[in-house]
Amino acid sequence: MERSHTVFPEVTLAILAGGQGRRLSGVPKGLLEVEGRAVLERLLTLAPRFEDVLLVANVPGPYARFGLRTVADVVPGKGAPGGVHAALVAARTPWVVAVACDMPFITMAALRVLLDAREDSVDAVCFEVAGRLEPLLAAYRPALAPAWGDALATNPSMRELLSNVRTRLLPEETLRAVDPSLRSLANVNTPEDLARYGVALPS
């Protein structure tokens, strides 16, 4: 993949495929389409800005045509915490930015806000919007992986995991500065979401 425009050579873009879209006829959510392109394909337009790209998918078959380096959860059955952990284990760079494959509207501007907020004293950077953390639009040090993996035994929430590491929480207004409608956080889980965001089932 072309890397001549790499902006963040120390960062891996990790796309978490999650499970099957059970509320969307079992369609792999990364294959949902916006304006004729799969969501995963849209996210991959961000890839040239990063040193590496990684797909976390326990059922990789539907995404094989994209030719991505793909890994499964190291600790199965742990949802988003397990998916992030898998990305941290597999990363070859000092940082990972994790995004979900059902978020069609993530922009480079939003990712830049996250990554520009990194500091030597911070292990994770995450937006907090309306009191909720957004862990699938967030940046992490892979050095967290061993402790994170141990913690998965207790089925922690993402908030619990992040509360135990040096996390910088970015307030809502920092995202609104580059994304006034918070469209980057839109995720597609239900038929109602399809209509709301103009998303179609794969053709």
Domains delineated in the chain: 8-195 (3.90.550.10)
pLDDT of 169 strictly over 80 = yes
The tokens describing 195, both together, are: 């209509």
Distance between the two ends of the chain, CA-based, in angstroms?
26
Count the Cβ atoms, other than its own, within 10 Å of residue 70: 18
Helix (H) or strand (E) holding 136: strand 132-140
How high is the pLDDT of residue 195? 85
Q: Is position 78 annotated in a ligand binding site?
A: no
Residues 55 and 70 sit within 8 Å (Cβ to Cβ)? yes
Give the Cα separation of 51 and 20 in Å (integer).
Answer: 28
Q: Is 198 annotated as a binding residue?
A: no
pLDDT at 20 over 60: no
Which of these, 166, 36, 170, 43, lies nearest to 101 by C-alpha position?
43
H or E element, residue 113: helix 108-116
| Structural contact between residues 84 and 165, judged by C-beta atoms closer than 8 angstroms | no
For residue 63, pLDDT beyond 90: yes
Average pLDDT score, the chain: 92
Report the predicted TM-score, pTM, of the whole model to 2 decimal places: 0.93
Q: Is the pLDDT of residue 166 over 70?
A: yes
Q: Annotated binding residue at 193?
A: no
So what's the pLDDT on residue 2?
Answer: 40
- Alpha-carbon torsion 49, 39, 152, 162, what sign? positive
Q: Is 29 annotated as a binding residue?
A: yes
Q: Binning pLDDT at 50, 70 and 90, where does residue 202 land?
A: confident
Q: Does 188 have pLDDT greater than 90?
A: no
Q: Which residues pair with 140 in a beta bridge?
A: 96, 124
Q: pLDDT tens, 124-136?
A: 999 999 999 999 9
Q: Tokens standing for 165?
A: 């590491």
144 marked among binding-site residues: no
pLDDT at 1: 40
Yes or no: say if 102 and 109 are a contact pair by the CB < 8 Å rule.
no
Q: Give residue 13's identity as a one-letter amino acid code.
A: L
